[in-house]
Amino acid sequence: MAKSANIHGATGRRKTASAHVRIQPGTGVTLVNDRPFTAYFPVETLRMFIEQPLKAIEGVGKYDISASITGGGPAGQAGAMRHGIARALLLVDPNLRGTLKKGGFLTRDSRMKERLKPGQPGARKRFQFSKR
């Protein structure tokens, strides 16, 4: 994608994944870490999840998207990319805020994996209690 003044960038986060998304008006080409969108996310449900902000504003096929994603797994990366796309669309047109906010695309999903506690086998699980 050529550099121009109408490229808008935003960062989306989910769990431990972080996505730096760049969006510009175009033909609907989506690249993730310099790979085609369908090759990086082979699962159809994750692709549908990522495209939700574009479907909400009826912008599927109207924007070229380039994303650089680090950390996390496939679901976390998909959530980070969706968050980044929504934030970038807000920079393209601030009037979309109501639609994106109503869909819940601008809210960062803050749920993280709980840390392992010392002296326990897991985050919540305890060793079996023995009175005697």
Confidence grade of residue 76 (pLDDT, cut at 50, 70, 90): very high
Q: Using one digit for the tens of pLDDT, what is the confidence trace for 11-64?
A: 999 999 999 999 999 999 999 999 999 999 999 999 999 999 999 999 999 999
Which residues, listed in sequence order, are joined to residue 18 by a DSSP beta bridge? Answer: 13, 70
Residue extents of the structural domains in the chain: 8-103
Give which of 80, 69, 75 is closest to 32, Cα–Cα. 69
Q: What share of the chain is helix, strand, coil (3-state, %, to 5)?
A: 35, 20, 45
Q: Are 39 and 31 in contact (CB under 8 A)?
A: no
* CATH code of domain 8-103: 3.30.230.10
Beginning with the edge strand found earlier in the chain, give each strand of the sheet holding 30-32 in spatial order.
Answer: 8-14, 17-25, 63-70, 30-32, 35-36
Confidence grade of residue 132 (pLDDT, cut at 50, 70, 90): confident
Q: Are 82 and 49 in contact (CB under 8 A)?
A: yes
Q: What is the pLDDT of residue 5?
A: 72
The mean pLDDT of the chain is 93
Q: What is the pLDDT of residue 4?
A: 60
Confidence grade of residue 3 (pLDDT, cut at 50, 70, 90): low
Q: Per-residue pLDDT for 73 more than 90? A: yes
How many angstroms separate the CA atoms of 88 and 21, rounded? Answer: 7
Cβ-based neighbour number of residue 85 at 10 Å: 27
